[in-house]
Copies of this chain bind each other. A is one copy, B any other.
């Protein structure tokens, strides 16, 4: 039995935070150290999230008072622009970091600053930070001190595209990602459009003029294409449900190949990627509350078009689950530790 490591969560009041706490509380090798919140300082986690009654006994502590430097690893489940202010100090104390926000997802600082509308305060760490998609960066994550946990859309979309991009089998300038997300992806934002009265029984596109996940995907996919530029058309939509992302991807093949075999082989050793049988369509409920990504590649008859369906739970493989997977890799645990959780259905 391994010794338990001490893990803290900065920003534990959001939906990603509580999901992370659910996972960490069940993790065999983890002891929860501090959970911070400015707004809810002093309150019990279980007072904000009654689901955690009897499971998490911690109080929220002000991050300025938290003894983060004595944690082995710190998760940032904060808004964008927070982790970059803590990273250098924590790393210098030997603390590992996984940022579930966007501070270290994009290497090109100019691009980052344009899309996120603020100056980056830790540019010198951008080179070291590892983009935490284990399916492409597992070896780097093993040695990483600082991991940038990917966005939810980017996880579903990139896992769907990687076999094609890595093997240079499609036109990289004509990729459409029509993506749909459950409303927990918006976090706990208090806006009328996220109220149940408005969001339920409705569906819409948004962010069509530009979404922050677009540069993240284009930079990383281009890196996976040996630097050849990958260009996406990305349209996110808001689903009237809580959890789940479904990406419908349209690409043009540049040659003939066995589509199913490509995907099966590419992901044959991945514990959290499941290639569906031919001619099937995965539903988001089949991955709900689990860390699994299910992918179904389809070939259009009579054309060169390929359609890939990719589903994840946005709070799990799209956020907290993937963060725990990254922690497991960084700390040398079995990669699936604490993540062997069957999807909740119905």
Assuming A26-B341, A285-B202, is B50 touching A208 (CB within 8 A)? no
User: Are A51 and B343 in contact (CB-based, < 8 A)?
Assistant: yes
Closest residue on chain B to residue A208 by CB atoms = B298
Instruction: Give the CA-CA distance A237 to B179 in the complex, in Å.
Output: 12
Per-residue 0/1 for A262-304: is the Cβ within 8 Å of any B Cβ (1 yes, 0 no)?
0000000000001010011111111111101010001011010
Instruction: Give the CA-CA distance A290 to B274 in the complex, in Å.
Output: 26
Report the copy number of this chain in the oligomer.
Answer: 4
Q: How many residues of A contact B (CB 8 A)?
A: 81
A:186-231 near B, CB below 8 Å:
186, 188, 190-192, 194-206, 208-209, 231
Assuming A250-B250, A294-B50, is B242 touching A201 (CB within 8 A)? yes
User: Are A346 and B15 in contact (CB-based, < 8 A)?
Assistant: yes
Closest residue on chain B to residue A187 by CB atoms = B197
A:21-35 near B, CB below 8 Å:
22, 25-26
Assuming A195-B195, A250-B250, is B203 touching A294 (CB within 8 A)? no
Instruction: Give the CA-CA distance A218 to B80 in the complex, in Å.
Output: 46
User: Residue A18 at the B interface, CB < 8 A?
Assistant: yes
User: Are A205 and B345 in contact (CB-based, < 8 A)?
Assistant: no
User: Are A51 and B345 in contact (CB-based, < 8 A)?
Assistant: yes
> With a CB–CB cut-off of 8 A, which chain B residues contact A18?
345-346
Assuming A205-B281, A342-B51, is B240 touching A241 (CB within 8 A)? yes
- Which of B196, B239, B340 is in CB contact (< 8 Å) with A194? B196
Instruction: Give the CA-CA distance A245 to B22 in the complex, in Å.
Output: 22
> With a CB–CB cut-off of 8 A, which chain B residues contact A284?
202-204
User: Are B176 and A346 in contact (CB-based, < 8 A)?
Assistant: no
> With a CB–CB cut-off of 8 A, which chain B residues contact A241?
200-203, 240
Among the listed stretches A52-60, A95-103, A140-148, which one makes contact with chain B, having 4 or more residues with CB under 8 Å of it? A52-60
Closest residue on chain B to residue A195 by CB atoms = B194
